[in-house]
Copies of this chain bind each other. A is one copy, B any other.
């Protein structure tokens, strides 16, 4: 294992320290807990938005803290849920009197720990709503869509809910915007390599030198098929068709698109994939309103990518296009 780290057990602590030092005009860290909040938190009169999950997905979670996105991120250890106490303190720190929305990735540990935080906060009179993002089509069939995992499409849900809160929406409206974004978003991923976990120095799964796994989760959860590595055009077609057929997306739909790298896949490969994805969507008369291409939600240094589409109507489009200003996401 080659990693530029110090203590393998202090990776999450030290990366948050470095991040907060790097972007002091955007964020601050709460004392004693690994919670990053926007600089001007709490914003009075605004619904607070709190996200939380394990680290290892950078710039996902804490890189997007700020205006137009969310107010607090509760940072767990690598691929591990944050603690209830940290979530509670984060909730208190961003409570501007209008309640707080928790946006979670639909992982059991996150739901349990943030559920405890919700109870504590509500007991003190802070209204809390929870939306679980479920964009990963590989993780469960359509009939069990509510059991699906949240992966990179989370960015769309965050963007939409964040804009709604920034515009003065009340808690119910912000929650409904998040639910609407989630129900119109689908993601499909592919992995070519494992990631190396800092604590063990070992890969989180094994895969042959000539294989890839379609539908693998961002923590290495099993996918739906293991095959020989295919060409970029073939992979683009698989990802696009899995996503399009699931919602399904149809002719004359307008979509936001996220082609997300998992860490080690060069940006040049994402552009080559996009070339084909765009061709397929165009042939289906699905119009790409805006494309985001890059390492938005990684799995440390995993090789692979995911494609997310969100179907837009006037409301979702306006919220997606609304301004955002954070260290790693600007609109």
Contacts and interface: CB of A to CB of B under 8 A. Distances in A.
Interface string A4-39: 111000010011111101110000000000000000
A212 interface: yes
Nearest to A304: B4
Contacts of A274: 18-19, 21-22
Nearest to A327: B293
Contact of A193 (B2, B278, B328, B330): B2
A266 B232 contact: no
A295 B275 contact: no
A160 interface: no
Given A4-B232, A266-B300, A14 B271 contact: yes
Given A2-B303, A5-B272, 4 more contacts: A2-B192, A5-B231, A14-B275, A58-B271
Contacts of A19: 271, 274
A5 B269 contact: yes
Contact of A266 (B14, B278, B301, B303): B301
Interface of A: 2-6, 11, 14-19, 21-23, 55-56, 58-59, 63, 192-193, 209-210, 212, 229, 231-233, 235, 263-275, 278, 291, 293-295, 298, 300-301, 303, 305, 328, 330
B22 A58 contact: no
Contacts of A193: 2
Main secondary structure, interface of A, reads mixed
Nearest to A234: B6
Contacts of A22: 271, 274, 278, 291, 293
Contact of A192 (B4, B59, B268, B273): B4
Contacts of A271: 14-19, 22, 58
A151 to B, nearest CB: 17
Contacts of A15: 268-269, 271-272, 275
The residue among A16, A273, A301 with the most chain B CB atoms within 10 A of its own CB is A301
A188 B183 CA distance: 47
Nearest to A300: B266
A300 B268 contact: yes
A291 B23 contact: yes
Given A264-B264, A278-B22, A301-B264, A2 B231 contact: no
Contacts of A291: 22-23
